[in-house]
Chain A
């Protein structure tokens, strides 16, 4: 891969901490603001739809941002950028969780039979839920001690993030009445991010394929 700069960029500890604090402030602040506006009926005609839409699209935005961090860190090069990847990924998971909670609490208003049947019977909700389960597993194994203990298995597990991204986009596209809407742009961005990783992805697929042949 070509590099933009001849020498890698560095980020000292203080601005790094400030950047992290900024990410925390924006990500939690926006969530708090959404709930405040929603509760006071200042989130458009249907606050429930607005909350679901904002949390859902931001979960996807953050997921795609987290996936663009490593290509960016290599290309600039700017290795310290990697230090923000886990944080961004965890916020993607948080937004996805709040999205699902809002669906249960405000859209279906804790009608548990309806919640269960919607997850099972409605394909677009099933795939969204699957994406959330993957993100939950990744979030649960995201700490450094767990990462060390898992060894190479950790990377295999975390490769599932690509599946989660594709399922989340499928969920988004499928939830709308027509195909020609915003998700089209998301698919293009996701395709670009996967293309940058084509070598790795092909390698993973080939390895799986060989394993199956050996059996």
Chain B
């Protein structure tokens, strides 16, 4: 038990020394607060030039040649490149959305090998150059809807996954496509530390039904805003499935495997009651912890921009509805 505090009667002017020590203590506490606040200040104050200089700081991006956007593209206001490349969920580089832009810059994307194998007649091995040269590229401006109820409009450059799969010639027994991200804890700090990587079992894996994978909307993206992908966006090659929540669009792919069984998927494994295999954008099926009926569209503008919009079924890509005919999409979320 602490003793009852009795004020000392011996305190005199000589106690000035004590007071000075005390004052220093306060200053240390204050300084600590100041350092805390100023580090936040610095982050925001530098945001302007940091965004302008993004290309200098980040890995060099090569311009790509590609066809102009066609019928699958939207004409909605695009999310600026600075935002698309600084707000990423890529837990291999940290769980904070600004972590990937800070930690992924040095990701080695050449040499690179993407294998396509499993139930195929013609297994493929694509090297770094093949990714941008083997298939004709086109620009696709897609909406991207994150499961966290925000969205962006992004001009990807890439080719249809169907073209790649056709080249590999799937066997008739193939029913699903399994995708796998690079596993390299030396380059990906989130894979090396459980805490930094959000406790996910790496490598990150995803999957699609074969008919979903063959749909013309399903894109293998190698570029963004006319140039090769920044590492934080999934360089050198990633999947983009615009009618599904963003976590299905797996980044930095090293392997695509055709299989006859439904493959495990990372977020479904981590929290099956929250993230299903299908993960189609669906305003009527809420995430257990938040509503999916609307979303905030990230473009330009600050706090006072009215950017909350209704979420559309299949993220507005109604042409995929026939894929799910007769399915209960509340059960198969």
Count residues of A near B (Cβ-Cβ below 8 Å).
54
Chain A residues, Cβ within 8 Å of B286: 121
B327 part of interface (Cβ distance < 8 Å): no
Mask for B255-286, Cβ within 8 A of A = 1, else 0?
00000000000000011000000000000001
B48 part of interface (Cβ distance < 8 Å): yes
Chain A residues, Cβ within 8 Å of B34: 26
Count residues of B near A (Cβ-Cβ below 8 Å).
58
User: Is the CB–CB distance between A118 and B19 below 8 Å?
Assistant: no
In the docked arrangement, what's the CA distance between A207 and B107, Å? 60
Shortest beta-carbon distance, A202 to chain B, in Å? 14
Stretch at the interface among B36-44, B61-69, B178-186, B220-228: B36-44
User: Is the CB–CB distance between B290 and A118 below 8 Å?
Assistant: yes
A144 part of interface (Cβ distance < 8 Å): no
Which residues of chain A in 173-202 are interfacial with respect to chain B, using CB atoms and an 8 Å cutoff?
174-181, 184
Shortest beta-carbon distance, A113 to chain B, in Å? 10
- Contact A47:B86 (CB < 8 A) given known A12-B19, A111-B308, A178-B199: no
In the docked arrangement, what's the CA distance between A43 and B316, Å? 29
In the docked arrangement, what's the CA distance between A43 and B11, Å? 50
Chain B residues, Cβ within 8 Å of A1: 2
User: Is the CB–CB distance between A38 and B291 below 8 Å?
Assistant: no
CB < 8 Å: which of A12, A42, A122, A177 contacts B198? Answer: A177
User: Is the CB–CB distance between B200 and A43 below 8 Å?
Assistant: no
A10 part of interface (Cβ distance < 8 Å): yes
- Contact A178:B95 (CB < 8 A) given known A26-B37, A38-B303, A114-B294: yes
Chain A residues, Cβ within 8 Å of B47: 37, 42-44
In the docked arrangement, what's the CA distance between A47 and B33, Å? 23
Which residues of chain B in 1-17 are interfacial with respect to chain A, using CB atoms and an 8 Å cutoff?
2, 5, 7-8, 11, 15
In the docked arrangement, what's the CA distance between A114 and B40, Å? 32
- Contact A51:B303 (CB < 8 A) given known A26-B34, A45-B86: yes
A124 part of interface (Cβ distance < 8 Å): yes
Chain B residues, Cβ within 8 Å of A114: 291, 293-294
- Contact A33:B41 (CB < 8 A) given known A106-B303, A117-B291: yes
Given contacts A7-B11, A45-B97, A180-B197, 16 further A-B contacts (CB under 8 A): A8-B5, A8-B7, A9-B19, A10-B18, A11-B19, A22-B30, A26-B33, A33-B44, A37-B44, A38-B302, A42-B44, A42-B47, A42-B302, A77-B5, A123-B289, A178-B199
- 15 example contacts (A-B, Cβ-Cβ < 8 A) are as follows A8-B7, A9-B25, A15-B26, A26-B34, A38-B302, A43-B302, A45-B82, A46-B87, A49-B97, A54-B40, A109-B308, A111-B294, A121-B286, A178-B198, A180-B197
